[in-house]
Structure 1
Amino acid sequence: MTRPPFRFGPALLFCPADRLDRFAKALERADAVILDLEDAVAPGSKAEARRAVAASALDPDRVIVRVNPAASADFADDVAMLADTPYRTVMLAKCEGTADLVDLEPFEVVALCETARGVLAAEAVAALPNVSALMWGAEDLVASLGGFSSRHDDARYRGVAAHARAHVQLAAAAHDVAAIDTVHLDISDLDGLADEARDAAALGFAATACIHPSQVDTVRAAYRPSAEQLEWARAVLAAAVGEPGVFAFRGRMVDGPVLRQAEAVVRRDR
């Protein structure tokens, strides 16, 4: 199987899968919608949520469906429902290893590494040919550790959460799949979201997940390069034409890695 290219981003918006009335609006607001059959749906509403997804008629190229964990009682029903829909991109909640993806071979998979086991299994999961992206999650991770807070009082991630973020991104990059940054739970804190999304973009994350439509524009703006960044990137790439190797540009040494960074800036101009 040829690895599917990651085509979403940068702003992915979660939508409860039992709210069919919100599907189209969520997709209209974001770059892609994540129809959530897991945490956003109460246990007693799972069947209703599956019926809503099955009844929907969204652009399948812009839809990701988050299914329940492979070990859950709802997983088989989620997968069976999706087989009869046009939706072929699945986000697997609480992915904890390659065995969790056995029943997802017909689908493109975004593996959500959000437990201790999942973070440690990220590299093996990323190596599977139908995996197009890894995402990490802070809150379920801390819960899996027996903890109760992923952040310090100043809103910075605690060390283990920051480590998990880096580990999942490294695993994704090592296998040439996309990395998705986790949600920012404080909906009113758009400044904090902007800081985190700018950091994610600078490090090479492909997208950031959103939990509210008000977050979408902030994420898009954070991933979009500034005019100054674009001017520099285009200028240094133009200056590199004809240069046989390392050269100086505006007082800075430029080599292969710097040129690849400039190319990354230009790619984000969309």
Structure 2
Amino acid sequence: MSIFTMGPAILFCPADRPDRYAKALERADAVILDLEDAVAPENKSAARQALVDNPLDPERTIVRVNPVGTADFTADLRALSSTDYRTIMLAKTEGPEDLSRLSAYAVVALCETALGILNAQVIAGTRNVVAMMWGAEDLVASLGGSSSRRESGTYRDVVRHARSQVLLAAGAYGKVAIDSVYIDIGDHAGLLGESVDAAASGFGAKASIHPGQMPFIRQAFIPTTEQVDRAKNVLAAAEKSAGVFTFEGQMVDEPLLRHARATLARHAPTTTTTP
């Protein structure tokens, strides 16, 4: 099984807009070339051809394909066979049987329907799944709802439940969890707050829909100098202590040491240039 290393700032790009491919990859840590919702039905054939004719770095590119059982899914796989892309996002993943035709690929399973959320655990345990993502808007649509968020901007309870389900399923099987997009493009404060929560909760990356969102996601996922220094100091103090100890007035045991190690694991310089 491949290991998913893309992120933390992952940007969707319509596959029928090859003029945006290179710019998207310049701004993001990884790009999702989208053959599904971002492409109108009449443009899907052209999108597949653009995917073939305009290659990007396969180590930093995910291709979102249409749901299993559709004619577009079959055509998507045919186009992919002419590329070097080997990481795909399966839209509306609902069970392990959906993944049976994708053994040649590392799969980001996108759970965005009621059935997909209920089956998140068994999906996460499927061998070729390397990451899990969830989708709020399609989920609410599958329930017959009309809005994923309250007027305050916070998620409704059912959506928060789905987010947690996917995160827990991913964590249970050692897979990376990717947080859903923040659709209010101009609300940078809201995006930053949600991204900080995602990173602190255990998500490994966050997907996005606009290049202007990249700096805020990176800011949330890359620890501050103060956080890194504190993590180092906690771990250094642990080397001189046996068992539970007190550090700056806080009780520290193994779970908190693991928090510190996770902070240092996220502390790595990005190789992506941000304008």
For the superposition of Structure 1 and Structure 2, which TM-score range results when normalised by the shorter chain? over 0.9
Q: Distance in 2 between matches of 1:87 and 1:244?
A: 49
- Name the residue aligned to 2:253: 255
- Name the residue aligned to 2:267: 269
Alignment match of 1:210 (pick from 208, 211, 220): 208
- Name the residue aligned to 1:116: 114
Q: CA deviation at 1:242?
A: 4.1
Alignment match of 1:129 (pick from 127, 130, 134): 127
- Name the residue aligned to 1:106: 104
Q: Which runs of 5+ in 1 are unaligned?
A: none
Where do residues 26-105 of structure 1 align in structure 2 (5 Å cutoff)? 26-105=24-103
Q: 3-state SS of the aligned residue for 1:134? A: strand
Q: 3-state SS of the aligned residue for 2:177? A: strand
Q: 3-state SS of the aligned residue for 2:147? A: coil
Alignment match of 1:177 (pick from 164, 175, 197): 175
Give the counterpart letter for 1:210 in structure 2. S
- Name the residue aligned to 1:138: 136
Alpha-carbon deviations, 1:34-62, whole Å to 9, x = none?
00000000001111000011112211100
Q: 3-state SS of the aligned residue for 1:169? A: helix
Q: 3-state SS of the aligned residue for 2:71? A: coil
Q: CA deviation at 1:232?
A: 0.9
Q: Distance in 1 between matches of 2:252 and 2:70?
A: 51
Alpha-carbon deviations, 1:71-111, whole Å to 9, x = none?
22200110121122100000000001111111110000000
Alignment match of 1:160 (pick from 149, 158, 161): 158
Moved over 3 A (4+): none
**Aligned residue pair count:** 268
Give the counterpart letter for 1:263 in structure 2. R
Q: 3-state SS of the aligned residue for 1:151? A: coil
Greater Cα shift, 9-18 or 241-250: 241-250
Q: Distance in 1 between matches of 2:145 and 2:248?
A: 49
Give the counterpart letter for 1:220 in structure 2. R
Alpha-carbon deviations, 1:220-269, whole Å to 9, x = none?
01111122211110100111114332122122111110000001111111
Alpha-carbon deviations, 1:182-219, whole Å to 9, x = none?
00001011110000000000011000001000000110
Greater Cα shift, 100-109 or 243-252: 243-252
Greater Cα shift, 65-74 or 138-147: 65-74
Q: 3-state SS of the aligned residue for 1:91? A: strand
- Name the residue aligned to 1:220: 218
Q: Which runs of 5+ in 2 are unaligned?
A: 269-275
Give the counterpart letter for 2:91 in structure 1. A
- Name the residue aligned to 2:239: 241
Alignment identity in percent? 57
TM superposition score normalised by structure 2: 0.96
- Name the residue aligned to 2:272: none
Q: Distance in 1 between matches of 2:148 and 2:163?
A: 12
Q: Distance in 2 between matches of 1:12 and 1:152?
A: 25
